[in-house]
Amino acid sequence: MTPPRSAFGASPPGGVSPHRASACALASGWRTPCDMQVARRRQRTGRAGSAASAWLRWQLLGRSLVLALTGCLLPAVADDGRALWPTIEKPAKGAQCVEDTATMRRQHMDLLKHQRDDTVRGGIRGAKHSLKDCVGCHAGAKTGSVAAAPGDFCVSCHTYAAVTIDCFECHTGKPAAVAQRKP
Amino acid sequence: MSKPHNAARRGFLGTAAAAVGGVMLAPGIQLIEVAQAATPGASAKVRWGMLIDTTRCASGCTDCVTACNTENGLAPPARSTDPQWIRKVEIKEIKTGRAASLPVMCQHCAEPPCVDVCPTGASFKRADGIVLVDRHSCIGCRYCMMACPYKARSFVHEPLADQRPDVPRGKGCVESCTLCVHRIDQGDKTTACAEACAKAGHGAIVFGDLNDPQSEISRRVRAVASVALRADLRLDPGVRYQGL
């Protein structure tokens, strides 16, 4: 007897493919018995009726999608602070950002890059879009930094987006009050 | 290379924006943060410089070096390759036996050789005469270190942590004395080394605007004989030495 086909490809009878199990870590716990059930049912039906087989295939696809979506939307933070979804910590101080959230999400890199040249080469300091001010508000409560731990403000999103962040190779991720070097 | 910054125009626009913001907003309702006022930036009318009186500089005193390290977040150098922005040099004329002690740092040349040789434009001279490294474009090739006749520049070999918020520094870049540019830009009229020297009672370092005829440094360089180190290179340094 040929092994039953799942929506994502071949899977062993009564089991779930490791590929699908890793597709969404949280949903896998729910999906496995479901898959097994479907697989068993399919084993019982055998080759009988291709219409029933197609219906089952679609139902399986639908269920998998629903479970996958549900699983991904749930907050999932591992013990070491890594997360499936970026954890946006609310800033400790500052009621409002210098730009609205959508602008900051899309354009913070351009704003910072534009102003850094003004500051380094032109000596204009304290303007609206400075990295120092970002750090001043967004430093995490636990680490006192925007870039010390995986859950910190900058690192969290950059890890999620898989964009390397080089700012803090030179700039301190801690606000002025915290970052006092011991002589 | 860098575009000229029209400080006056920026200042005007900033003031205008602040004024409009102030009028538009009802009392108690703050829609935008208007309060932040940017500094006007480096002005070409200014030429920052230093006069170092070697007759007052005490042999063995390293207060300026310590102050520089503290201000800029440099660890005291443990190895010869560790970054050092200012160093004390002891000199002695063999014939007469006359000894002198003096701090040497980036001389902030008007014709800086480090800027000439930089392949990326990272080494640059600001409008107000301060020679800096833009670490965003420094590739760490160290041509500038070769070119500098004063050995003023250092390369950061090791990864750094806990930098000062105003003084970003990092591995793989060349750096040198910035004339405490972060303080000067905020309107401060002295550098960490000059401040420490005055505090120690020597007052051997005078910092100021060489273009302002009323400034103390201008009066001093007018009144007393001072020399530039390696004057034969005609680099027109902003740092001058008295009593050498």
Q: What residue segments make up the domains of chain B, in order of their start?
A: 1-41, 48-242
Give B50→chain A minimum CA distance, Å: 19
From A33, A54, A73, the end of a domain falls on A73
Are A67 and A84 part of one and the same domain? no
Rounded Cα distance, B219 and B223, in Å: 6
Which two three-digit tokens encode residue A12?
């062993």
Number of structural domains in chain A: 2
B44 versus A3: which is more confidently predicted? B44
pLDDT of residue A90: 85
Please compute the mean of the pLDDT values over residues B44-70 and round it to a whole number. Answer: 96
Q: Which residues of A touch B5 (CB under 8 A)?
A: 118, 121-124
* CATH class of residue range B48-242: alpha beta
pLDDT band of B34, cuts 50, 70, 90: very low
Rounded Cα distance, B151 and B81, in Å: 12
pLDDT band of A79, cuts 50, 70, 90: low
Q: Which range, of A53-57, A131-135, A160-164, B217-221, averages the lowest pLDDT?
A: A53-57
Rounded Cα distance, B148 and B106, in Å: 9
Question: Tens digits of per-residue pLDDT, A147-176?
Answer: 998 889 999 999 889 999 999 999 999 998
pLDDT of residue A57: 75
Identity of the residue in B41, B70, B160 whose CB atom sits nearest the CB atom of A122: B41
Checking if the pLDDT of A105 tops 60, the result is yes
Are A68 and A81 part of one and the same domain? no
Question: Tens digits of per-residue pLDDT, B111-156?
Answer: 999 999 999 999 999 999 999 999 999 999 999 999 999 999 999 9
pLDDT of residue B86: 97
Q: Label residues B96-108 b or e (16+ Cβ within 10 Å = b).
A: eeeebbbbbbbbb
Please compute the mean of the pLDDT values over residues B7-24 and round it to a whole number. Answer: 50
Are A47 and A83 part of one and the same domain? no
Checking if the pLDDT of B2 tops 70, the result is no
Give B41→chain A minimum CA distance, Å: 4
Residues 6+ apart with CB under 8 A from B165: A132, A135, A171, A172, A174, A175, A176, A179
Please compute the mean of the pLDDT values over residues A18-45 and round it to a whole number. Answer: 41
Rounded Cα distance, B139 and A54, in Å: 60
How many residues can be counted in chain B? 244
Rounded Cα distance, A32 and A23, in Å: 12
Q: Which residue of B has its CA nearest to A99?
A: B32
CB B211 within 8 A of CB B110: no
pLDDT of residue A94: 77
From A40, A56, A73, the end of a domain falls on A73
From A56, A73, A90, the end of a domain falls on A73
pLDDT of residue A29: 36
Closest CA to B50 of B234, B200, B229: B229
Are A39 and A96 part of one and the same domain? no
Rounded Cα distance, B83 and A107, in Å: 35
Are A98 and A29 part of one and the same domain? no
Q: Which residues of B touch A133 (CB under 8 A)?
A: 36
Are A63 and A90 part of one and the same domain? no
Query: The domain containing residue A103 runs over which residues?
Result: 77-183
Are A35 and A56 part of one and the same domain? yes
Checking if the pLDDT of A26 tops 90, the result is no
The residue among A120, A138, A145 with the most chain B CBs within 10 A of its CB, best to mutate, is: A120
pLDDT band of A8, cuts 50, 70, 90: very low
Supply the pTM of this predicted model.
0.72
